[in-house]
A and B are shown apart, each in its own frame.
Chain A
Amino acid sequence: MLCSSWGREYSNAHRSIRALSKRLCAIGLDTLRFDYYGAGDSGGETVDAQLDGWRADISTALSELKDMSGRPRIAVVGMRLGATLVAQSAQQLSIKADNIILWDPILCGSDYVDSLLDRQNRHDEKSSDPAVSGSSAVAADSELGGLLVSSSFVDGLSSIDLCSRRVMLPSRVLTIFTDGPHRDCEIGSLSKDSSEVATLKAPSPWKDSAEQEEGLPVEVIDRILKWLK
């Protein structure tokens, strides 16, 4: 099962997530990808979305995949926020995941929110034309990454700390980092015996297209397939 990121990252990475699902299907794995409530094609508005709800969506999707495929073993791949949500809820999932793959998880929520706000401010600054109107940024407090979100959603993002010992992970986890240097920390209770952390030189498909023109992250997809085989 594939768990995407959200907002711009979700849109930007849609092609790569689809490519991954096709590669997984090609080696005989039934694959489900879905949109969280209030995201993508799913029902609801973004402002009504909550991270608790999205963690529950992952459980619902897992049950659906199990029912539809009838497979005895399930692997879950999460990208960015999707990876973080999977890691946070690994012990509470409706179906036990035999394999978890975390693709560039968001480790520190406050840093992540800051980066979104910083980007928003830079965009507003770049877009505004002082000679035209002197207009200030349109974004209100509840607008994040161009989407209207609730304050509790922002609080939920800000409180992410994947390095906390409270994050309990199953025994077999592959963590992939591609996005340059990352904060040096161990994710939760990651078992060093049967888990692996890989740093790959590969494109980051969730970045804006202007920033990533390297094509599909083939190295990451190959690594995921190798791990699952």
Chain B
Amino acid sequence: MTVKFVERVAQFGPEKGVIGIVAEPAETTSDEKLGVVILNTGTIHRVGHHRMYVSMSRKLARAGRTVLRFDFSGLGDSSPHSSARPLLQSNLEDIEAAIDWLQTTRGISQVVLVGLCSGADHAILYGFSDARIVGLVLIDPYVPPTARYFLDYLSRRLRDVKSWRNFRLHRSKLLRRLLEHLSQALHKEGGPGHLVYQGLDVRASLEKAYEVTTQVGVKLLVICTGRHHAPRQTYREQFTSAFSRVSFEASLHLEFFKDTDHTFSSVESRNELDELVRFWCETTKFDRSPFQLSNRSDIAALWTA
């Protein structure tokens, strides 16, 4: 199904200071009430790296979805958040305001959140707490390193002639990466580019978020990339191994883009991603339980942005 779509400016939140673009079918063709909300990656505004969120939202809109991509307060064209609340809390409130806007103005009652890197971190920290969230597309979420990750990484670097040359010159990225992981393990910090963890155990905290998310019936599409000089993931099952205590069962659809880099810098990889997200939204049976298990602030309070 390909339908004509339109794009409009969306303004919502306190004093309508949060700015986004909604792409939607030009005419309402069915009583479809599933919308998609795309979150910022780091400090890049709603257009995304290589304009990836513009093309993704247009393709989804052509497939009949209503898609909102917006800037968190203080990013892109949105006004700075005015409260004294922590940045993460403000961002989670912006997500809530975005969904309120979709519900009020478009009658959308079920939403899939899409996020890459820090966007994925926001999505997993928010999803379980709002009964309107039925699915999460988490692209390169924070995945703690596993024993096999270290072995894979070490093995790759040892086979790379250049890294030996660098090692000899005391410029080894391998050494730096291993020290970085060791430092993270010792200091319990989050990964680069992701939200920064400020205490306790990052793996346990995320396990709790994933556990409650799956328990309330939110469906997960997790996409990890593996093509980077210092990849965060080296194999498809790293995600499930890292969160082995979580019973994902049928909630999880896991994909590994082995030859894709973190920001999907090739057109081909972005097309593949767009098609996967469209197909997953099209074919997944979303049936979230209305039962609430946990309060958002229980988990969000452990993080800072």
Contact = CB atoms under 8 A, between A and B. Distances in A.
Given A133-B258, A133-B259, A41 B266 contact: no
Contacts, number: 74
Which of B44, B51, B156, B259 has the most C-beta atoms of chain A within 10 angstroms of its own C-beta?
A: B51
Nearest to B264: A146
Interface of B: 7, 21, 42-47, 49-51, 54-55, 75-77, 155-156, 159-160, 226-229, 231, 258-259, 261, 263, 265-269
Contacts of B266: 138-139, 143, 146
A191 B21 CA distance: 43
A39 interface: yes
Given A41-B21, A127-B229, A146 B47 contact: no
Given A127-B229, A135-B259, A138-B268, A146 B45 contact: no
A151 to B, nearest CB: 15
A92 to B, nearest CB: 28
B259 A131 contact: no
B7 A130 contact: no
Contacts of A128: 227
A129 B156 contact: yes
A18 interface: yes
B44 A11 contact: yes
A92 B226 CA distance: 49
Nearest to A45: B55
B47 A41 contact: yes
B54 A41 contact: yes
Nearest 6 CB-CB pairs, A to B?
A138-B266, A146-B50, A146-B265, A131-B159, A126-B229, A131-B156
Nearest to A33: B77
A46 B259 contact: no
B47 A11 contact: yes
A147 B156 contact: no
Contacts of A123: 261, 265
